[in-house]
Amino acid sequence: MQGASLTVSDIACRRGDRLLFRGLSFALASGGAVQLVGANGIGKSSLIRILAGLMPAYAGSVERSGAVALLDERPALDPHLPLGRALAFWQKLDGPEDNQAARLGLADLIDVPVRYLSTGQKKRAALARLIGQRALLWLLDEPLNGLDSKGMALVEELAAEHCHGGGICVVASHQPFGLAGMTQIDLKDFAA
């Protein structure tokens, strides 16, 4: 993978009538990673949504090079379909690349309707979809939530592989996230 970049210039975020943060700038190149930290409600998920292009920044600009893949608490998998078919739906759009479902421990679950999956299993399924997207920019909102310790270690491993392959990771997490070279941004430093 070549050419991933994410440049955030002097952005502010407003939700409703509240300015959450302002004056935030950072830049990531291919292989770069940053962890967003800060108290509940400070604006981590809002920032992830701005970076994903799902909502505009109140001020400033975001420039991206490379496709974006977003992982949050809403897996875009049809709850009524068996997991295998729900993932296959996306593979038709994303391409036939290996989504690493077996590595994610999903091999025995392909006949189980998505709505019956446990919290951690749903997170693993969402990760399979994320990997299948082959996007350069990974935006991960609380990617460790709901996972057991092996699952958490696997997410860190996948993120390291992604960066090693030239991708970028932005991780919003309350939990420590082990990734070599990852910097941290505490949104309280930019609170409005």
**Closest CB 40 distance from ligand ATP, rounded Å:** 3
**Closest CB 23 distance from ligand ATP, rounded Å:** 17
CB-hemisphere CA count at 13 Å for 116?
9
Which residue lies nearer to ligand ATP by CB, 23 or 181?
A: 23
Which residue lies nearer to ligand ATP by CB, 43 or 75?
A: 43
- Residue 55: burial class (beta carbons within 10 Å; 0-12, 13-18, 19+): middle
Which residue lies nearer to ligand ATP by CB, 34 or 131?
A: 34
**Closest CB 20 distance from ligand ATP, rounded Å:** 6
Query: Which positions touch ligand ATP (CB under 6 A)?
Result: 15-16, 20, 38, 40-46
Which residue lies nearer to ligand ATP by CB, 35 or 99?
A: 35
**Closest CB 12 distance from ligand ATP, rounded Å:** 13
Q: How far apart are CA 25 and CA 175, in angstroms?
A: 23
**Closest CB 96 distance from ligand ATP, rounded Å:** 34
Q: How far apart are CA 27 and CA 64, in angstroms?
A: 10
Of the chain, the end-to-end C-alpha distance in Å amounts to 37
Which residue lies nearer to ligand ATP by CB, 42 or 57?
A: 42
